[in-house]
Amino acid sequence: MTLRALRFMTAGESHGPMLVGILQGLPAGLPIDLAAIDEDLVRRMGGYGRGKRMKIERDCARFVAGVRHGHTIGSPIAFLIENRDWTNWQHVMGVEPLEATDPMPGGTTAESGDLPGRAADSRRVTRPRPGHADLAGGLKFDRADLRDILERASARETAARVAAGALCRMFLAELGVGITSHVTRIGGAGLEAGTTLPVQTVMERAEASPVRCADAQAEAAMIDAIDAAGNSLDTLGGTFEVIAFNLPPGLGSHAQWDLKLDGRIAQAMMSIPAQKAVEIGDGIWAAGHPGSVVHDPIHYDREQGGFYRPSNRAGGLEGGITFGGDLRVRVFMKPLSTLRQPLPSVDIVDGEPAEAVVQRSDVCAVPAAAIVGEAMVALIIADACIEKFGGDSIGETKRNHASYLRQVGDFPPQAS
Ligand code: EPS
């Protein structure tokens, strides 16, 4: 349970008719830029190394509740994102029970072959891919067709997260908060260890890069690495960094384990498919260095707006609370588990060794994962802002936010 003031759920299979998202808890009166939501959806579809599915889709969000005349009205926001590929999967993903005589994909009928009904489907998946949810999910949900698992485990679901994240981003913009991201490594190619790029550089350069990399030399090496992996029928993971800037101090809390904002962010990032580790600030580097060089000294200058830090190795959080510096979260993605040259597996029908199923997939989806990472950070920070500032209307939230910032400016309180 990571959200405290917002509620968010998605539904939808990768090759079903559509994805569905419901987001509840944004204040009323928030202006909604529909085009900006679809722009974020297009950003997620892009990136060098994507596969053929993204050439079929034209992701856009159709709002069916919670937005009226361009503004939120305080009710749950509901939206749909159509899967254009659905037209190619209607038989495989149909809702109705299969009739014995139904024509099946592959030219068979449900009663043909030695397996009854749906199991005769030529797109039945019985050879789980190492690294995907196929086997673990099949065991848990007792499915004879592992498609019942992979359809929902697919990263297709993240399109709905990006639409919800775009709504949260609009809310955060009202409070002056911005979010950006860049790719720092793909396979063996990346920025030099210890590189921290300024937010402005990331915003200007990463967006224009096919791999979302802000450094031209690293970008070229990443593209070469993706080409080489694709040519050898392999896949690549990598790392990306999400940065949230102009954050108020005081989001999250030290007071209880499940209130700490770093923990809430880490959970949200780890929930993105294929992510295996999360680092806040220079956390991994810090583990190998003494405290005297790790922690960010505290300075004060009224002219400069009060407290400030010459460094931000903490990544914007101390004790699970923002202190006013940029939030920097790095996320580590494993290579996609659908391999065109499949790994050894076992056929669940007979327990015999078999090569894992080969599904259409991407060679590399790290640039897309960075956009999903932005959305998840937007969701968690928006949640923490509503938790801190409340407000049923955006005007009320902004008044509370402004009043709190005055309090911070007057710190410390007069002794009573
Ligand atoms: C994805 C849609 C999927 C994959 C990919 C991401 O479409 P399809 O399975 O039809 O090709 O391209 O999914 C995975 C990497 C995965 O492991 O499931 C998308 O919309 O992002």
Ligand 1 within 6 A of CB of 235: no
Per-residue model confidence as pLDDT tens digits over 258-268 = 999 999 999 99
Q: How far is the CA of 161 from the centre of ligand 1 (A)?
A: 14
In 265-376 the beta strands, taken as DSSP E runs, fall at: 275-280, 299-301, 306-308, 317-318, 321-322, 327-333, 344-346, 353-355
Structure tokens at 296: 């960010």
User: Is residue 326 within 8 Å of residue 193, measured between CB atoms?
Assistant: no
Q: What pLDDT score was predicted for residue 416?
A: 62
pLDDT recorded at residue 105: 47
> Can you list the pairs that 288-295 forms with residues at least 24 positions away whose Cβ atoms lie under 8 Å?
none
Structure confidence by residue, pLDDT tens digits, 22-45:
999 999 999 999 999 999 999 999
The alpha helices in 75-157, defined as continuous H runs, are 134-141, 147-153
Atom of ligand 1 nearest to the CA of 44: 21
Q: How far is CA 413 from CA 60, 85, 95, 406, in A?
A: 49, 59, 62, 12
pLDDT in tens, 174-228: 999 999 999 999 999 999 988 999 999 999 999 999 999 999 999 999 999 999 9
Residue boundaries of the structural domains of the chain = 7-85+156-281+316-338+361-408
Give the span between the Cα atoms of 342 and 233, in whole angstroms. Answer: 9
- pLDDT band at 414, cuts 50/70/90? confident
The predicted pLDDT at position 371 comes to 98
Q: Which atom of ligand 1 is nearest to the CA of 159?
A: 20
Instruction: Answer whether the bond into residue 31 is a cis peptide, omega within 30°.
Output: no
Instruction: Please state the rounded mean pLDDT for residues 336-346.
Output: 96
| Ligand 1 neighbour 155 (Cβ under 6 A) | yes
Nearest CA to ligand 1 atom 4: 361
Token readout for 57 is: 């889709």
Pick the CATH number of 7-85+156-281+316-338+361-408 from 1.10.10.10, 3.60.150.10, 3.20.20.210, 3.30.300.30: 3.60.150.10
Q: What confidence tier does 303 reach under pLDDT thresholds 50, 70, 90? A: confident
- Calpha distance 58→38 (Å, rounded): 9
Beta bridge partners of residue 279, listed in sequence order: 330
On whether the CB atoms of residues 374 and 245 are closer than 8 A, the answer is no
Helical segments of 208-333, H only:
216-231, 261-270, 283-286, 291-294
In tens, the pLDDT along 102-133 reads 554 444 444 433 344 443 367 899 999 999 99
Is 334 in contact with 276 (CB distance < 8 Å)? yes
pLDDT in tens, 80-99: 999 999 999 998 999 998 77
365 ligand 1 Cβ < 6 A = yes
Given a contact cutoff of 8 angstroms between Cβ atoms, the answer to whether 189 and 239 are in contact is: no
Contact call for residues 362 and 50 (beta carbons, < 8 A): yes
Q: Between helices 34-45 and 366-389, what is the axis angle to 10°?
A: 140
Q: pTM of this prediction? A: 0.94
pLDDT above 70 as % of the chain: 94
